[in-house]
C-alpha cells in the first residue's frame, strides 16, 4: 500500500478494497481462535478505565472478536455496560443498558440490542468493533459511518475513550482516511493492548 495520502475521490474505493481483504483475514483469525474473547477480557485491564465508568460494548456478529467475556468481567467490578442501538441511516448511535442475563432483541446486520425498556446511558468508554486498524489509531469500519458520527458527537460533549477491538491479524500498514474519520485512543486485541500517541500531522483530505 502506498504511504501517500489518498485523495477524497480515491479513499472510499481504497477502503472498499481493503475491507474485503481485512474481513477475510478476520474470518481466518476467528476460525483459528474462536476462544480469543477470554484473552481480550484479560487485556482490557491494561486500559485506564475510571472506576464505575459507563462502557459501551457490542454484541458480536459474523467473525468479530467476542467482547462478551469482557462485558461480564467489567460488570462484575462495577462498570455500567451498554450496547449500541441504531436509529437510522446517517444518525449517531444511542446506547441502552445491558446486564448479564438481559434478553436482547434482533437488530440490523445480524447483531442484537437491548429492548426499548432498558435505560438509556451515555458512555465515556467505547469498545469499538472494526474491520481493520493501523498504527496511527485509525480504523476501517463497515462503511456506514455510525461510530465516526457517534464519537464526534460524544467528544464534542466531553472526554471519551475510544478503544478499538480486533484480532491482531486485522492490522494494516495504513488505513485510508477522510475528514469524518475519528481516531481511536487504544487498540485491544487477543495479544494485548496498546495506546496511540499524539496524532500525526497530515495534509490533504484526512484529519
* pLDDT tens-digit readout, 20-44: 999 999 999 999 998 899 999 999 9
Q: pLDDT grade, residue 89 (50/70/90)?
A: confident
Residue 153's pLDDT band (cuts 50, 70, 90): very high
Rounded to whole angstroms, how far apart are CA atoms 94 and 199?
Answer: 27
Q: Which three cell numbers stand for residue 138?
A: 485509525
pLDDT of residue 107: 85
User: Edge-to-edge strand order for the sheet containing 125-129?
Assistant: 94-98, 80-85, 54-56, 125-129, 161-165, 186-189, 192-195
- What pLDDT sits at residue 10? 63
pLDDT band with cut points at 50, 70 and 90 for residue 11: confident
The model's pTM is 0.87
Fold of 10-195: Rossmann fold (3.40.50)
- Domain ranges for the chain, please list them: 10-195
DSSP string, the chain: --SSPPPTTHHHHHHHHHHHHHHHHHHHHHHH-TTHHHHHHHHGGGS-PPTT-EEE-----TT----HHHHHHHHHTT-EEEEEE--STT---EEEEE-TTPPPEE-GGG-EE--TTSPB---SEEEEE-SEE-TTS-EE--SS-HHHHHHHHHHHHS--EEEEE--GGGB-S-----TTPPPPSEEEETTEEEE--SPPP--SS--
Reported confidence tier of residue 58, pLDDT bands at 50, 70, 90: very high
Three cell numbers, residue 207: 484529519
pLDDT digits (tens, 9 = 90+) for 156-182: 999 999 999 999 999 999 999 989 999
pLDDT for residue 72: 95
CA geometry: angle 129, 135, 140, nearest 5 deg: 35
Question: Using an 8 Å Cβ cutoff, are 126 and 99 in contact?
Answer: no
Average pLDDT score, the chain: 88
- Closest Cα to residue 46, out of 171, 206, 163? 163
> What is the rounded average pLDDT of the residues 101-113?
88
Q: Supply the Cα-derived Rg of the chain in whole angstroms.
A: 16
**Model pLDDT, residue 199:** 57
Amino acid at each position: 500500500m502506498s504511504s501517500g495520502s489518498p485523495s477524497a475521490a480515491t479513499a472510499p474505493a481504497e477502503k472498499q478494497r481493503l475491507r474485503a481483504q481485512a474481513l477475510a483475514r478476520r474470518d481466518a483469525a476467528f476460525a483459528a481462535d474462536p476462544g480469543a474473547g477470554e484473552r481480550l477480557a484479560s487485556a482490557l485491564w491494561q486500559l485506564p478505565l475510571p472506576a464505575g465508568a459507563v462502557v459501551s460494548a457490542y454484541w458480536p456478529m459474523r467473525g468479530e472478536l467476542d467482547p462478551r467475556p469482557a462485558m461480564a468481567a467489567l460488570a462484575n467490578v462495577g462498570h455500567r455496560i451498554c450496547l449500541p442501538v441504531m436509529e437510522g441511516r446517517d444518525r449517531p448511535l444511542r446506547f441502552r443498558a445491558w446486564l448479564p442475563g438481559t434478553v436482547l432483541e434482533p437488530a440490523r446486520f445480524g447483531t442484537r440490542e437491548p429492548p426499548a425498556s432498558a435505560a438509556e446511558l451515555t458512555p465515556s468508554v467505547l469498545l469499538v468493533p472494526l474491520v481493520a486498524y493501523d498504527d496511527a489509531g485509525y480504523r476501517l469500519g463497515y462503511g456506514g459511518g455510525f461510530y465516526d458520527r457517534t464519537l464526534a458527537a460524544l467528544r464534542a460533549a466531553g472526554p471519551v475513550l475510544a478503544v478499538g477491538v480486533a484480532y491482531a491479524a486485522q492490522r494494516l500498514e495504513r488505513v485510508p482516511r477522510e475528514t469524518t474519520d475519528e481516531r481511536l485512543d487504544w487498540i485491544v486485541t487477543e495479544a494485548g493492548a496498546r495506546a496511540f500517541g499524539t496524532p500525526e500531522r497530515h495534509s490533504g483530505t484526512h484529519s
